Amino acid sequence: MRHRIPALFAALFALAFAIPAQAPAQGVASLNGSYTYDASASDDVHQAINTAVQRMNFAMRPIARGRLRKTNEPYKRVVISNTQSQVSVAMDGRPAIVTPANGTPVDWTREDGEKLRVSTEWENGTLEQTFKAEDGQRVNAYSVSPDGRTLTMNVTITSPRLPRPLTYKLVYRKA
């Protein structure tokens, strides 16, 4: 009898690692929906940009600030739809960005013509959408409140040209 308990424990332990990790079913379902921007609960994006570029050379600072402002205007509406295999994110009525949910990158061209690689995957209960360009990357990390009414998008932009990452938070309410 004593040898059965350690053998049973070992079998259960091995089984736990044999089952593939997946996004929690509740997290997948609760993130789906249409959300509208809540400026009062969100960070001031222009202030975040100023903080990120403040250590840059005075001649380069206005160029970087202008480019960052152009590509970091808060979206007024975000629509997310996802399944175990695919994620779709549409912003302000633009065509949805559709990617595999397993992190496999796809080619995508932004409205201004810049070509990017986009991937989406679950990381510790957060849906991370990563845009990679030649000169840096942007990560939109989406999480939803327990009641499903509030979507938070934490944005992180990194580039060898920036002295520090640009980070800010945007908050959206379920429509």
Q: Would you state the pLDDT for residue 85?
A: 93
Separation CA 44–CA 163 (nearest Å): 20
Mean pLDDT by 10 residues, the chain (175 residues): 42 35 44 96 98 94 95 96 94 95 95 94 93 96 94 97 96 96
pTM here is: 0.82
Q: Would you state the pLDDT for residue 9?
A: 35
For residue 52, count other CB atoms closer than 10 A to its CB. Answer: 22
CB neighbour list of residue 71: distance below 8 Å, 6 or more residues apart: none
Q: In one letter, which amino acid is 37? A: Y
Q: Would you state the pLDDT for residue 25?
A: 42
